[in-house]
Amino acid sequence: MDCRQVTKIDAILAAAKSRAIELNTVAYNSGIGSYLSLGDYEKALELYALMRTRNVKPDAVTYNVLISGSCKLGKYAESLKFFEDMMDLKIHLTKEVYSSVICSYVKQVSITDINPLVPCKELVC
């Protein structure tokens, strides 16, 4: 994890807060995705929780970022929990979300459990 980059994201979010700027869904998605891409799962979850606390509605992009990012960090069960949350909220499913969920399922199971007809090497996670 690049701590300098995480610190920059923290500074940007703090600046928005100090100026009383209300972040929208796109801003939260960007922050969550940035934390996840830097490997800071905890900061991503904190920002997602703040988003929900402030009643900013997550969208399909929010959940794709969370599912894909969690999967890439090896947090497969967590990624599938985000998918369940998305379904509970009745958020429209996109092909990107389906792809991320399939990757989570594939990576979660043993290679011997995978149907040989599934082209795993072609999945992009």
Question: Tens of pLDDT along 8-62?
Answer: 787 888 888 889 889 999 999 999 999 999 999 999 999 999 999 999 999 999 9
At residue 34, the 3 state secondary structure works out as helix
- pTM to 2 decimal places: 0.79
Q: Where are the domains of the chain?
A: 1-57, 63-125
Query: If you average pLDDT over residues 101-115, what whole number do you get?
Result: 67
